[in-house]
Amino acid sequence: MTDVRSGAPPALADPMARVPLSPAKPVPVDQMACAPLSPAARVPVGPAARAPLSPSARTDAGPEAAALALVTDIVAAGRVLVLTGAGLSTDSGIPDYRSPGAPPRSPMTEQEFRSGPVARQRYWARSHLGWQRMGEATPNGGHRALAALEQAGVVDLLITQNVDGLHGKAGSRTVVDLHGRIDEVVCLDCGQISSRAALHERMSRLNPDFGADADVVVAPDGDVEFSDTAAFRVPACRRCAGALKPNVVFFGGSVARPVVDRCFAAVDDAEALLVAGSSLTVMSGFRFVRHAVKRSIPVLVINRGPTRADDLPIVKLDAGCTPTLTAVATALQAL
- The reply to whether 179 belongs to the active site is yes
Least separation in angstroms between residue 282's CB and ligand NAD is 5
List of residues contacting Zn ion (CB under 5 A): 187, 189-190, 237, 239-240, 242
Contacted by 193, from ligand NAD, Zn ion, none: CB < 5 to 8 Å by type: none
String of contacts with ligand NAD for each residue 236-275, x by CB under 6 A: ----------------------------------------
String of contacts with ligand NAD for each residue 141-180, x by CB under 6 A: --------------------xxxx--------------x-
Least separation in angstroms between residue 246's CB and ligand NAD is 11
In whole angstroms, what is the distance from residue 141 CA to residue 330 CA?
11
**Residue 326 binds ligand NAD, judged by CB under 6 A:** no
Name the helix (H) or strand (E) containing 160: strand 155-160
Q: Are 232 and 125 in contact (CB under 8 A)?
A: yes
Residue 36, SS3 per DSSP: coil
**Residue 85 binds ligand NAD, judged by CB under 6 A:** yes
**Among residues 280, 248, 299, which one has the least CA distance to residue 85?**
280
104 is in an annotated binding site: yes
In whole angstroms, what is the distance from residue 80 CA to residue 313 CA?
17
Alpha-carbon distances, residue 239 vs 31, 194, 235 (angstroms): 54, 11, 12
Least separation in angstroms between residue 288's CB and Zn ion is 32
Q: Report the relative pairing of strands 175-177 and 299-302 from DSSP bridges.
A: unpaired
180 is in an annotated binding site: no
Determine which residue in the list 38, 72, 90, 127 makes contact with ligand NAD, applying CB under 6 A: 90
Angle between the 141-151 and 321-331 helix axes, to the nearest 10 degrees?
A: 30
Alpha-carbon distances, residue 150 vs 3, 50, 154, 172, 277 (angstroms): 16, 17, 6, 7, 18
What is the total count of residues that contact ligand NAD (CB under 6 A)? 28
In whole angstroms, what is the distance from residue 297 CA to residue 279 CA?
20
DSSP sequence for 97-122 = SSSTTPPP--PPBHHHHHT-HHHHHH
Q: 85 vs 130, which CB is nearer to ligand NAD? A: 85
Contacted by 237, from ligand NAD, Zn ion, none: CB < 5 to 8 Å by type: Zn ion
**Residue 320 binds ligand NAD, judged by CB under 6 A:** yes
Q: 140 vs 207, which CB is nearer to ligand NAD? A: 140
263 is in an annotated binding site: no
In whole angstroms, what is the distance from residue 266 CA to residue 112 CA?
33
Catalytic entry in 143, 167, 179, 291? 179
String of contacts with ligand NAD for each residue 276-315, x by CB under 6 A: -xxxxxx--------------------xxx----------
**Residue 94 binds ligand NAD, judged by CB under 6 A:** yes
Q: Which residues of 270-289 are buried (b: 16+ CB within 10 A; e: fewer)?
A: bbbbbbbbbbbebebbbebb
59 is in an annotated binding site: no
Residue 292: what residue type? Answer: A
Residue 78: what residue type? Answer: G
**Residue 99 binds ligand NAD, judged by CB under 6 A:** yes
In whole angstroms, what is the distance from residue 76 CA to residue 64 CA?
18
- Residues at the binding site for Zn(2+) are 187, 190, 237, 240
- Residues at the binding site for NAD(+) are 85-105, 161-164, 277-279, 303-305, 321
| Residues near ligand NAD (CB under 6 A) | 85-87, 89-91, 94, 96-99, 161-164, 179, 220, 277-282, 303-305, 320-321
- Residues at the binding site are 85-105, 161-164, 187, 190, 237, 240, 277-279, 303-305, 321
Q: Would you please indicate which residues are annotated as catalytic (active-site) residues?
A: 179
